[in-house]
């Protein structure tokens, strides 16, 4: 015969069905809210810490797009024996046009590609950039015009270069066309990049702005 104490303990033990039902409840609502809150905080911290990296990636992407547009279409002009016009339009558009040759009148240029820089990047200049001729990329301009081709043809300020089959960069009437275009992130001086074109040879160079002696200096990439 079971003792009174044994009966008492058995009466307060959960039966099998009751134990299973209790296990099925899982996390409480409060526990779930705590977990979600922790995940949101971690995600927010990660997002904030990644912002500088994302901005730098956008600047690098814009610089690479600008540099390669000029280099690629210079190469195409040589290999295809054609004329390509690369036009820069503020704030962030690059348009490439093919300009055929015909007699007695050349046809209108035909757009073959349009490129757009990331939305937080644009063709621009910023306070603090070197502004003496001897300190600008390839000594073109004075660092105060974002798109500054037409160097040696007057005041500069043209927004395009045309590559021709001999590889040189010209304006629309056949003059050699040198210059530079600047790209960067507003409010971030050392995000600035530049691409220069030397008219007689069509040479394309990339540049980056670095801190130097309390100021800033362009360095070829």
Name the least confident of 1-15, 20-34, 126-140, 194-208.
1-15
Contacts of 146 (CB under 8 A, 6+ apart): 90, 122, 123, 124, 125, 181, 182
Domains and CATH numbers, the chain: 54-220 (3.55.40.10)
Going by pLDDT thresholds of 50, 70 and 90, the confidence category of residue 27 is low
Q: What would the two tokens of residue 37 be?
A: 């809150």
Going by pLDDT thresholds of 50, 70 and 90, the confidence category of residue 16 is low
Going by pLDDT thresholds of 50, 70 and 90, the confidence category of residue 28 is confident
Q: How far apart are CA 217 and CA 60, in angstroms?
A: 18
Task: Give the residue with greater pLDDT, 177 vs 6.
Answer: 177
Contacts of 175 (CB under 8 A, 6+ apart): 152, 153, 199
User: What is the predicted pLDDT for the residue at 40?
Assistant: 78
CA torsion through residues 159, 162, 167, 170, sign: negative
* C-alpha 11 chain-centroid distance: 73
Residues shown for the chain: 221
């Amino acid at each position: 015969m079971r003792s009174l104490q044994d009966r008492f303990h058995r009466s307060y033990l959960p039966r099998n069905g009751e134990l299973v039902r209790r296990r099925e409840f899982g996390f409480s609502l409060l526990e779930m809210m705590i977990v979600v809150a922790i995940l949101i905080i971690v995600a927010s911290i990660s997002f904030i810490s990644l912002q500088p990296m994302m901005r730098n990636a956008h600047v690098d992407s814009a610089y690479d797009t600008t540099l390669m547009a000029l280099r690629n279409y210079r190469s195409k002009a040589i290999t295809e024996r054609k004329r390509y016009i690369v036009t820069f339009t503020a704030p962030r558009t690059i348009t490439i046009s093919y300009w055929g040759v015909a007699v007695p009148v050349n046809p209108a240029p035909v757009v073959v590609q349009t490129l757009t820089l990331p939305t937080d990047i644009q063709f621009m200049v910023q306070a603090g950039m070197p502004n003496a001729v001897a300190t600008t990329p390839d000594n073109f301009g004075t660092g105060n015009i974002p798109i500054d081709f037409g160097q040696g043809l007057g005041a500069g300020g043209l927004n395009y270069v045309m590559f021709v089959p001999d590889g040189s960069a010209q304006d629309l009437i056949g003059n050699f066309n040198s210059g530079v275009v600047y790209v960067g992130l507003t409010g971030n001086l050392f995000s600035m990049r530049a691409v220069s074109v030397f008219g007689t040879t069509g040479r394309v160079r990339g540049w980056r702005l670095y801190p130097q002696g309390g100021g800033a200096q362009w360095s070829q990439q």
